Amino acid sequence: MADIERPQIYLITPPEFELSEFPARLASVLDAHEVACVRLALASRDEDRVARAADALREVTHARDIALTIEAHVQLVERLGLDGVHLTDGSRSVRKVRKELGADAIVGAFCGASRHDGLIAGEAGADYVSFGPVGDSTLGDGTKAEPELFAWWSEVVEVPIVAEGALTIETIRTLAPVSDFFGIGEEIWNTENPSETLGAMIAAME
């Protein structure tokens, strides 16, 4: 069930960032706002580069007692001491990854706008299901996850849901009563003052 309290923040890194400056930017946002979890979502397939970024961000997040997940790179979770993985292939690999990483790891599944896929992911052991984009975005195949999907899910299913992809103050206001988490990334990193932008989004959830 979606919590009656306001949704929590699941912060997503930009797909590309400078390792020399991004950890400090992230730290300042984490110090300004309560964040439940951070997802490293680099577009790079260079495992060495991703691992270096994960090491740097892990220091920032774990010092503040915040979980760090990684997008897609299942093999790096245990090796780098991360808290879990965000799978981008819907429900397909949830069961296998859950078995591989064990019960304590966070295993989340991005299911686009598919209620069916979300249900299968939940049954396979996902800790959360992420739907999106909720606005115009190239996330997934670009099919919009409508408010009705979130409303139905929060009414019927126990597995927590994340709303992500092209969030605006307006969609946050609409989805806050029926979402457990908001996956917020480039919406704040592309602005002059990420902490301030996130503050405005949080205010819209109240």
Residue 29 has pLDDT above 50, yes or no: yes
Looking at residue 4, its pLDDT comes to 52
Q: Is residue 85 exposed (0-12), middle (13-18) or buried (19+ Cβ within 10 Å)? A: buried
Q: Is residue 161 part of a domain?
A: yes
Q: Is residue 1 part of a domain?
A: no
Token look-up 């965000």 returns 86
Element (H or E) spanning 117, and its range? helix 115-123
Q: Is residue 97 part of a domain?
A: yes
Give the domain CATH number at 99. 3.20.20.70
Looking at residue 2, its pLDDT comes to 42
Task: Name the band, by pLDDT with cuts 50, 70 and 90, for residue 191.
Answer: very high
Looking at residue 5, its pLDDT comes to 81
Q: Is residue 127 part of a domain?
A: yes
Q: Is residue 53 exposed (0-12), middle (13-18) or buried (19+ Cβ within 10 Å)? A: buried
Residue 179: partners with Cβ closer than 8 Å, 6 or more residues away? 2, 7, 150, 154, 161, 162, 163
Q: Is residue 117 part of a domain?
A: yes
Q: Is residue 3 part of a domain?
A: no
Q: Is residue 18 part of a domain?
A: yes
Q: Quick one: average pLDDT of 103-130?
A: 98
Query: How many folded domains does the chain comprise?
Result: 1
Q: Is residue 116 part of a domain?
A: yes
